[in-house]
Structure formats: structure tokens, C-alpha cells
């Protein structure tokens, strides 16, 4: 009987309390240079080679990759792209 009450309590606590999942930081892909300026590219989802080439394309030509929406936040963050429909998939470049 006690086991059943403990199990029921654990199930209720699992439903009521929010699940805490640790956030995974983006992966640092490396440095790239565009028009004499150096940037550090980070990615959370796309592989690093794609993130670097897409960042270079957006910085130089303002061309967003298919399926991503890109924005520029000034000189310190010239590219920040988020996948449409999946906001946790993104890549960005920053000044070192």
C-alpha cells in the first residue's frame, strides 16, 4: 500500500513540477575572415562547415541560407540566423 502511495506521489510530482533540462551552449566553429574583418562563428544545430560558409555569404552578400531567417545586430554581431520553425537551431558570428 505504501509503495502505491509513493508511486502515485512521484507521478503527480512529475506532472506538476516542470522538467529541468540543462541548456546546451553553441559549438565554437572557429574564425573566418571576410573583407579583412575577423569573426568567430558559433553554431547550435548546423554543422560547422555549413555555419562558416553561410556566415560568410550573409556577411558579404546579405544572402540567407534556405530555411533560415537572418538578422544583423550591428558591427559586433553581423549575422545571427535562426531556422524557420525551429528556433533552437541557429548559428551566428561575432567579433573577437
- Length of the chain measured in residues: 96
Averages of pLDDT over each 10 residues, the chain, 96 residues: 52 44 85 95 96 96 95 94 95 95
Cell numbers for 29: 566553429
- Does residue 10 fall inside a structural domain? no
Q: What is the pLDDT of residue 20?
A: 46
- Predicted local distance difference test score (pLDDT) of residue 7: 46
CA distances from 56 to 8, 11, 29, 91 (A): 55, 49, 13, 12
Query: What pLDDT shows up at residue 12?
Result: 44
| Residue 86: predicted pLDDT | 94
Is 49 inside any structural domain?
A: yes
Query: What pLDDT, on the 0 to 100 scale, is given for residue 22?
Result: 64
- Count up the domains in the chain and report the number: 1
C-alpha R_g of the chain: 20
pLDDT score for 63: 93
Q: Is residue 5 part of a domain?
A: no
What range does the domain containing 47 cover? Answer: 24-94
pLDDT of residue 29: 97
Determine, yes or no, domain membership for 9: no
Determine, yes or no, domain membership for 1: no
- Answer yes or no: is 12 within a domain: no
Does the residue 59 lie in any domain? yes
pTM of the predicted structure, to 2 decimals? 0.74
Tell whether 17 is covered by a domain: no
Amino acid at each position: 500500500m505504501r509503495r502505491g502511495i509513493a508511486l502515485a506521489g512521484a507521478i503527480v510530482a512529475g506532472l506538476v513540477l516542470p522538467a529541468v533540462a540543462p541548456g546546451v551552449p553553441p559549438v565554437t566553429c572557429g574564425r573566418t575572415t571576410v573583407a579583412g574583418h575577423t569573426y568567430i562563428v558559433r553554431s547550435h544545430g548546423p554543422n560547422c562547415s555549413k555555419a562558416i560558409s553561410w556566415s560568410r555569404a550573409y556577411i558579404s552578400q546579405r544572402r540567407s541560407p534556405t530555411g533560415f531567417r537572418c538578422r544583423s545586430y550591428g558591427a559586433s554581431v553581423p549575422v545571427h540566423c535562426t531556422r524557420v520553425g525551429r528556433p533552437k537551431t541557429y548559428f551566428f558570428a561575432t567579433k573577437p
